[in-house]
Every structure is written in structure tokens, then in C-alpha cells.
Chains A and B, each alone.
Chain A
């Protein structure tokens, strides 16, 4: 049977942007409000799963040619490096700092070294969730 998924596909192309933007918002909001790397990563993988539901796997793989296992590995690497950097400043492993920085476009911004650590968590969650779903989703 030839399926006609026009409505699903059109809304998916629209909604994926909203979901990804919301996940990025959740990721950056984590320091002061509910959110963070874990829930942001899950939200991003939810957007990718929605794409997988509406289109077939080949199309999604062509549009977003990521190897999700390497993404998970890169996330672990980033988290470990943020912990190791602390050792160079004569403080215990995973000690984090905090400070205000003048950025060119954003002005005075509060930056903390937990942000790259959270980025690592985010990448691991996206990578693991997408690896699990794609592995289960394959027929053969």
C-alpha cells in the first residue's frame, strides 16, 4: 500500500525546529532554572525520533549524517577533559569555576566551567538514546 504521509511530514518539518530550539533553551537554562544537559539531550533526541517516525531512516541519515556512537564518545571526552583541566590549577578533580565575562555580542555574561561538562552530558544522552533507538528500529 502506498502511504501518503503529507500531513505528518509537513508538521514534522515545522515542529522539529520548535523542539530543537526548546531543547537548546533547556540546556542553557539548566544553571538557574529547571533544565540541564540530561533533559535537553532527551528533548533533542525526541526531535530526531520524530524525524525518524515521519521519514524513513535513510532520509534522516542523509540529512543528518552523524555517527551517534562517536557523539556519545565525544561527550564523555569533553566531560573528562573539564575535570582534568582543574588538576592543572592545583585544585581537586572536577573543581569548577565561575565568572563574569564581557562577550562581544551578549555583553556581561555569567559563564561557568560546568557548561562544557553539561555539554558532555548532553552529547552522551543524545548519542546513547539515538544509538538505542536506531539499533532497535532496524529490521534485519
Chain B
């Protein structure tokens, strides 16, 4: 493994860990669920992907071992992380988690058949009784 390649791999790992750091800062600093999920699902995915790619390249070039598991992991994280973010945001929206107070637009409010809060409470009550 040449010097250039090891420096390149180091840069990729550092970039990935920096992106993960940015994710955690976003999780602390951002105001509501939706913006936080935006931070968590995007930059964390890219951060993990970069670290995995660097690990793949390292084992490939240093030990001459091509890890199919890492490729599978890259594909898997790339598919699942955004879907998880989508599902968390959707669950939050349909359980009436409020938007940030400075939000200006909520297109889904008129489009989605929005269940009144009373209905949800009623269903939860039935659920706990059963």
C-alpha cells in the first residue's frame, strides 16, 4: 500500500467521523423532530458510508482481502437509513407532534386525512384496556 493511498483512506475515515459529529451537533441544536430527523438520516448515513468504504479499501489494499460483508453493509445502510428516517418522521406527524413554531408551510395538513386527537386517545384507551 503506497503512501498516497493510506493518506486517502485516512482522509475518508476522518471525513466520515466529522460527518457523524455534525449529525450529533444537529441532533442537539435543531428545534423539532422533523429537522432533527433530517440531520440524523442524511449526514449520519453518509458518515457511516464513508467509514465503511474506507474500511473496505483498507482491507482490500493492505491485506488483499475483499470483504463482501462490507459491500453488503454499505448497500444495506444506504437503503435502510433514509427509510427509517421517513418512518420516524411520519409516525411523529400522525401522532400530532408539533412543527417548529417558526414553520411557515404545512402542505400535508390539508392533504392527509388527519385524525383528530380525540380519536387517537380513544384508541389508546381501548388498547390499554385490552
Interface residues of A (CB under 8 A from B): 1-2, 7-8, 11, 14-15, 18, 22, 25, 139
Please name the 10 residue pairs, one residue from A and one from B, whose CB atoms are nearest each other, closest first. A11-B83, A1-B115, A7-B86, A18-B76, A7-B83, A11-B79, A8-B87, A22-B72, A15-B79, A18-B72
Are A1 and B113 touching (Cβ within 8 A)? yes
Q: Give the dominant DSSP class at B's interface.
A: helix
Neighbouring A residues of B72 by C-beta, 8 Å = 18, 22
Neighbouring B residues of A14 by C-beta, 8 Å = 79
Are A8 and B83 touching (Cβ within 8 A)? yes
Docked pose: A99 CA to B42 CA in angstroms: 50
CB pairs A–B below 8 angstroms (23 shown): A1-B94, A1-B113, A1-B115, A2-B113, A7-B83, A7-B86, A7-B87, A8-B83, A8-B87, A11-B79, A11-B80, A11-B83, A14-B79, A15-B76, A15-B79, A15-B80, A18-B72, A18-B75, A18-B76, A22-B69, A22-B72, A25-B69, A139-B130
